[in-house]
Structure 1
Amino acid sequence: MNLHLENKLFLVGGATSGLGKAILEQLIAEGAKVIAVARTEQKLENLKATHEKIEVVSGDLSEESVLEKVMSKIGDRILTGAVINSGGPPAMPVLDTKLSDWDDAYRNVVRWKIALTQALLPKMLENNYGRLLYIESVSVKQPVENLVLSNSMRLAVVGYVKTLSQEVGTSGVTFNILGPGYHSTQRMENLFKKNSELKGIPEAEIRSTFAEQTSIGKIGDPKDFASLAVWLLSQHSQYITGQTISVDGGLVKGIMG
C-alpha cells in the first residue's frame, strides 16, 4: 500500500530510541521528512547523519523554550502530522508516591502534550488536514503493576484527546492514541529492573513473566508497532479519530481492550 507520505513533514517526539525511533525510521522509509525531538543532542546528531530528510531539535518538550524551538523549526511549512511521545514517569507503587511525584507526573505526562497540541492545531485547522498521534500506554486500558503515576496521568490525556476529537471532528484533523503493551525498549528494560529489585527475582524471570501475560507469549517488536502508527499518520486513516488502540499482543483481557 502506498501511504502517500513522500516529502510530507512530520514531527516525532522521543525520536532517538524505542517506539519513537521506530516510527521515525518507517516515516523516512516512506519518503517523509521528519523533525526529530529528543533530550540528548548527540543522539540526535547521530540520527540526523543517517538521512538528509531528518531535522533535529534537542531538549525537553515540557519546557516552553523547546516548544518555541520546535515551532520555529516548522516555520511556515505545512506539518502533516505529529507523534506526541516521550518517556513516562518513574515506576513505583502507590504508597511510595509523594505529592511532588504527582506534580512532576502531571508536568511530564499531561501538561506539555496539551501545550504542544495547542501550538500545532491552529495551522492544521486552517489547512483542513492533520494527524495527531499520541503514544501513551496499555495502562490506559489495564493498569500496569508499580506504574501508578502512568496508570493515572495517561488517562487524563485520553480524556483530553477524546474530547478534542469530538469538538473539531469535521475539521479534517484526526486525533488518536496508541497504547503500547510490552515492547523491546529501554523503558521496558527499566521496568523489568525495577520489578526485579522489588521482588528479589532475576530480570530474566521477570521478562518471561511479562511475555507470558500476552496472548501470543512474547514481547513486541517496535517495528510492528510503528507500522500501525505510520498508517494512522497517513491519509488512509481519515475515518478513524478519537480512538485509543491497544498494541499489546493480547495483553488486555477486557472485551473493549
Structure 2
Amino acid sequence: MDYNIAGQRVIVTAASKGLGRAVAQEFVDQGATVVINSRSEENLEAAREHIEANVDGDGSVLIVPGDLSDPEVVIEVFDAAIDKLGGLDTLVTNHGGTTRRSFEKMTTELLDETYESVIKSTFLMVKKALPALKESDGGSITHIVSTSAREPPRNHIPSNILRLGIYGLSKSVSNEYGEYGVRSNCVGPRMVMTDRIASIFEDDAKRQGISVEEAKSQHVDSLPLSRVGDPQEFAEAVAFLSSDAASFITGTSLAIDGGWTNGAIL
C-alpha cells in the first residue's frame, strides 16, 4: 500500500531484527531514506543486506551503530544520523524486550537497568530529535510499546512499571509540540511473529512440558482473530501513522494486537 512517504528522512532504532527491521523495510519500500540503529554493527550490516535484498521501492538504508542506553552515545548517534539524512521527518523508537520477572523476584538493579534502556533512552532520543523534527514542518514520532503494558499481565514487572511511561512521554510531547506540527503516537504490538515471539512459545513449551505448537495455540486462543500477526501488517500501520493520511492523529495509541486488548476505550 502506498502511503506517499517517499523522500522522508527516517530514524528507526533497535532495527537490526524483528519489528524494527520490518518497519525500516516498509519505509525503504515506500521510498524513504532510513537510518537504522542498534548496538551491534555486525547485526546492522546483516539487516541492511536483508533490507536491500528485499527492497521493493526507491528508498535507501544507512546504518549508525551505538548503544542508546548511554546518554553520550545517543547524542553521537543522532548527530551522525541527522547529518547523514540532512534533516529528520520521522522517528520510530524501539527497544529490546524486557525481562519477564515476578514482583517477588524483581530487583532494584533490574529496575534501574530497565529504566536506562526503556525510559531514559527514549526520552533522550526524543529530546535530540525534536529540534530537527520542528524544522521539518510537521515531523512524526512513533513509539513501539508493548500493548500488554496497558493491561499489565502477571510476572512482567519491569514492563508493567516502566513501559507505561512511554505513553505519558508521547502524550506530553504531542501536547507541547503540536503547535510546531510535530505529531507523537504509540503503537502497541501483541503476538506479531518475530524471533522473540518464537522464543516465548519455546520457553512456554519447555516450562509446561508441551509442544511448541501447543504453546503457540494457547497464545493464539487469546486473540479474537485467532492467528499471529505478520510483521508486514505491523510495519504498514507505522508507515500510515507517519504519513499525511494520519496528519490529524496525534497523542494517541494504536493497538496492533489481533483484538487482544479488552478495553472498549483506548
TM interval, shorter chain, is over 0.9
Counterpart CA distance in 1 for 2:146 and 2:128 is 24
Which residue does 1:43 correspond to in 2? 43
Instruction: Tell me how far apart the structure 1 counterparts of residues 246 and 226 of structure 2 sit (CA, whole Å).
Output: 29
Counterpart of 2:62, as a letter, is E
Q: CA deviation at 1:198?
A: 4.3
Alpha carbons 2:118, 2:163 under 8 Å: kept: yes
1:2 deviates by: 4.1
- Work out whether residues 105 and 149 of structure 1, in 8 Å CA contact, stay in contact via their aligned partners in 2: yes
Aligned equivalents of 1:250, 1:36: Cα separation in 2:
30
1:89-100 alignment runs, 5 A limit:
89-100=98-109
Question: Structure 1 length normalisation: TM-score?
Answer: 0.93
User: Which moved further from structure 2: 132-141 or 144-153?
Assistant: 144-153
Structure 2 stretches of 5 or more lacking a match?
53-58
1:186-197 mapped onto 2 (5 Å cutoff): 186-197=195-206
Whether 2:189 is the aligned partner of 1:180: answer yes
**Measured at CA, do residues 193 and 144 of structure 1 come closer, stay the same or move farther in structure 2, by a change above 3 Å?**
farther
Is contact 1:158–1:177 with CA below 8 Å preserved after alignment?
A: yes
Which residue of structure 1 aligns with residue 165 of structure 2?
156
Residue aligning to 2:65: 58
Following superposition, the deviation at residue 46 of structure 1 comes to 2.5
Residue type of the alignment partner of 1:58: P
Q: Deviations over 1:33-58 (max 9, x none)?
A: 10011122222113334538111012
Q: Distance in 2 between matches of 1:202 and 1:145?
A: 22
Aligned equivalents of 2:205, 2:159: Cα separation in 1: 19
Distance 1:60 1:251 in 2: 32
Structure 1 unaligned residues grouped into runs of 5+: none
How many residue pairs align between the two structures? 257
Which segment is superposed worse, 8-17 or 186-195? 186-195
Partner SS state of residue 83, structure 1: strand
How far apart in 2 are the matches of 1:158 and 1:144? 17
CA distance in 2, matches of 1:251, 1:36: 29
Residue matched to 1:146: 155
**Residues 119/10 of structure 1: CA separation in 2 closer, same or farther (3 Å cut):** same
Query: Is contact 1:91-1:191 (8 Å) kept?
Result: no
After superposition, residues 70-85 of structure 1 pair within 5 angstroms as 70-75=78-83, 77-85=86-94
Report the Cα distance in structure 2 between the residues aligned to 1:172 and 1:191, rounded to whole angstroms.
Answer: 39
What secondary structure does 2:179 align onto? coil
> For residue 26 of structure 1, what is the amino acid of its counterpart?
E
Whole-angstrom CA distance in 2 between matches of 1:244 and 1:195: 29
| In 2: Cα distance, 1:192 partner to 1:143 partner | 19
Q: Could you list the per-position Cα deviations for residues 61-120 of structure 1 after superposition, in whole angstroms to 9, with x for gaps in the alignment?
A: 112343213322312712110110011211122211111111111111110000010000
Provide the residue aligned with 2:241 in structure 1.
232
Q: Which moved more, 1:193-202 or 1:81-90?
A: 193-202
> Does residue 248 of structure 1 match 2:260?
no
Distance between the aligned counterparts of 1:54 and 1:225, measured in 2? Answer: 19
**TM-score, scaled to structure 2:** 0.90
Instruction: Report the CA distance between 1:192 and its aligned residue.
Output: 2.7
Matched, 1:21 2:30: no
Q: Deviations over 1:196-243 (max 9, x none)?
A: 454444433221100110001111111101111011111221100010
SS at match of 1:253: coil
Output aligned runs, 1:91-110, within 5 Å. 91-110=100-119
| 1:31 matched to 2:31 | yes
State the identity %. 29
For the aligned residue pairs, the C-alpha RMSD in angstroms reads 1.8
